[in-house]
């Protein structure tokens, strides 16, 4: 029964998880509130908070899983992409522990782990499937042919969709991270209250920077006329922004499904927690006959369970790393 400790520290969440024989026994996430007052993640503060949180987080994951250190067979950690200082904390901790326990160390790509969150649950997608990976740093459409076998067929040319959510929220004077708040207000608003132009981007690629500009212009004009415009209409504004952003990715994934004749579709990454995206994807099951896979909320945003499950599959393949492995802030998925 392989027992894997997973460690995630790519951005502002310190997380540790235990996976035993492919099943998640614990998944502890320690979020860093310190960034709220700065309106975004401050890299230096994130590294320091990881340093402080990593030992209690790992201890808690072991305790909840009822596992002792000598029972661990391998340690999987996030190698990248992410903030270098944050990655270094997880990397050094994982190395030290692997060396002390004399067990294999497994480096995991954070974006691959988001995709592999779909292999945590009992019912798993069959290969090949399309994965719409939507996070704070990425917007990609990937054909997943097998574990570790990916073809990138579409990606953002500028901002990621998570950034578009967060930057829109900032323009609305909502605290960081704004994505979940836009979602919350949107649930009570009218998605057709305001129209934002949808960019015409070729093939399966995306662009979100133009929408941010049009939202900024729209808010400026309206607040010039009425300084209370945002507070009076926050729900309708959020619903209209969310409708536009979700519509863009749904249209592209539909196009990809048709082009590649694949009807098993998964969503992954932090923005996969968005209620409208989740609901609209699930509606496509009956509408288009898709088999849709939407991860549990706790496996959408950054978590170590997805790192540990990826580590588990790599462990079965004896795909280990040397203790000299280093983090890579710009680590890319190997696409063919
Ligand atoms: O995957 P993730 O936790 O971190 C990265 O790897 O980037 O994704 C974080 C992103 C943030 O932009 C956050 O605002 C967004 O996911 N997010 C959401 C929601 N929950 C998280 N965006 C829209 N609606 C949500 N409910
Ligand atoms: Zn992530």
- 132 close to 116: Cβ distance less than 8 angstroms: no
Count CB neighbours of 236 within 10 A: 18
Q: In angstroms, what is the span from residue 240 Cα to ligand 1's centroid? A: 18
pTM of the full structure = 0.96
Residues with beta carbon inside 6 Å of ligand 1?
Answer: 11, 135-137, 162, 165-166, 177, 179-180, 183, 269-271, 273-274, 301-302
What are the helix and strand counts (H, E) for the chain?
9, 10
Distance between first and last Cα of the chain: 33
Q: Which domain holds residue 98?
A: 3-116+299-316
Establish if 226 belongs to a structural domain. yes
Instruction: Tell me, yes or no, whether 153 and 272 share the same domain.
Output: yes
On the question of pLDDT at 172 being above 90, the answer is: yes
- The overall average pLDDT reported for the chain is 97
Does residue 328 lie within any of the structural domains? no
Q: Are residues 82 and 155 in the same domain?
A: no
Whether 121 shows a pLDDT value over 80: the answer reads yes
Task: State the pLDDT at residue 134.
Answer: 98
Residue 147 lies in a domain: yes
| Position 65 confidence tier, pLDDT thresholds 50, 70, 90 | very high
Do residue 135 and residue 232 come from a single domain? Answer: yes
Give nearest CA residue, ligand 1 atom 10: 136
**What would the mean pLDDT of 64-78 be, rounded to a whole number?**
98
148 CA distance to ligand 1 middle (Å): 24
* pLDDT tens digits, 265-283: 999 999 999 999 999 999 9
* Residue 335 included in any domain: no
Strand ranges inside the chain, DSSP E: 3-8, 13-20, 23-31, 74-80, 105-109, 129-134, 139-146, 149-155, 264-268, 291-293
**Same domain as 33, residue 180:** no
| 1-45 per-position pLDDT tens digit | 999 999 999 999 999 999 999 999 999 999 998 998 888 899 999
Quick one: tokens of 208?
């979100």
Whether 177 and 281 share a structural domain: yes
Tell me the β-bridge partners of 133: 140, 268
Q: Do residues 148 and 290 share a domain? A: yes
**Residue 52 domain-assigned (yes or no):** yes
Q: State the total domains in the chain.
A: 2
Q: Are strands 129-134 and 139-146 parallel, antiparallel or unpaired?
A: antiparallel
Q: What gap in Å lies between CA 326 and CA 321, rounded to an integer?
A: 10
Q: Give CA–CA dist 262/153, Å, rounded.
A: 13
In 3D space, the residue among 73, 145, 157 whose CA is nearest the CA of residue 115 turns out to be: 145
Domain assignment present for 324: no
Q: Is 232 found in the same domain as 269?
A: yes
In a shared domain, residues 147 and 12: no
Query: Which mutation among 82, 159, 162 tests ligand 1's pocket best, with the greatest number of atoms within 8 A of CB?
Result: 162
32 with 139, same domain: the answer is no
184 alpha carbon, closest ligand: 1
Closest-CA residue to 76 (of 112, 115, 107, 117)? 107
Residue among 226, 243, 229 nearest 173 (CA):
229
Same domain? For 305 and 277 the reply is no
Residue 325 lies in a domain: no
Q: Are residues 286 and 167 in the same domain?
A: yes
Tokens of 74: 């391998």
Which pLDDT score, from 0 to 100, does residue 45 have?
Answer: 97
Residue 80's CATH number: 3.30.420.40
**Same structural domain, 182 and 56:** no
CA 41 – ligand 1 centroid, Å: 13
Distance 226 CA to ligand 2 centre (A): 38
CA angle centred on 165, ends 151 and 305, rounded to 5°: 55
> Is the Cα torsion angle 165, 160, 255, 306 positive or negative in sign?
negative
Return the residue whose CA atom lies nearest to atom 14 of ligand 1.
179
| Residue 329 within any structural domain of the chain | no
């Amino acid at each position: 029964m392989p027992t894997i400790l997973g460690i995630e520290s790519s951005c502002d969440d310190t997380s540790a998880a235990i996976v035993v024989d492919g099943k998640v026994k614990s998944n502890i996430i320690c979020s860093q509130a310190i960034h709220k007052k700065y309106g975004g993640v401050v890299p230096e503060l994130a590294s320091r908070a990881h340093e402080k949180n990593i030992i209690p987080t790992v201890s808690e994951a072991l305790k909840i899983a009822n596992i002792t250190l000598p029972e661990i067979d391998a340690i999987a950690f996030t190698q990248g992409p992410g903030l270098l200082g944050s990655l270094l904390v997880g990397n050094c901790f994982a190395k030290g522990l692997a060396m002390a326990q004399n067990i294999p160390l497994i480096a995991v790509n954070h974006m691959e782990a988001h995709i592999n969150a779909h292999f945590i649950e009992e019912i798993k997608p069959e290969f090949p499937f399309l994965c719409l990976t939507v996070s704070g740093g990425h917007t990609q459409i990937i054909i997943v042919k097998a574990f570790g076998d990916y073809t990138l067929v579409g990606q953002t040319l500028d901002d990621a969709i998570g950034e578009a959510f967060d930057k829109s929220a900032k323009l609305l004077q909502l605290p960081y991270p704004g994505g979940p708040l836009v979602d919350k207000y949107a649930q009570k608003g009218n998605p057709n209250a305001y129209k934002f132009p949808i960019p015409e981007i070729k093939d399966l690629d995306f662009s979100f920077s133009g929408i941010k500009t049009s939202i900024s212009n729209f808010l400026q004009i309206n607040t010039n006329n009425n300084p209370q415009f945002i507070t009076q209409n926050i729900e309708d504004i959020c619903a209209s922004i969310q409708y536009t952003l979700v519509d863009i990715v749904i249209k592209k994934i539909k196009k990809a499904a048709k082009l590649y004749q694949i009807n098993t579709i998964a969503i992954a990454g932090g923005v996969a927690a968005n209620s409208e995206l989740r609901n609209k994807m699930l509606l496509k099951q009956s509408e288009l006959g898709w088999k849709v896979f939407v991860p549990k909320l706790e496996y959408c945003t950054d978590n170590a369970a997805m790192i540990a499950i990826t580590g588990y599959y790599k462990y079965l393949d004896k795909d280990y790393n040397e203790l000299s492995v280093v983090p890579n802030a710009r680590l890319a998925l190997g696409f063919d």
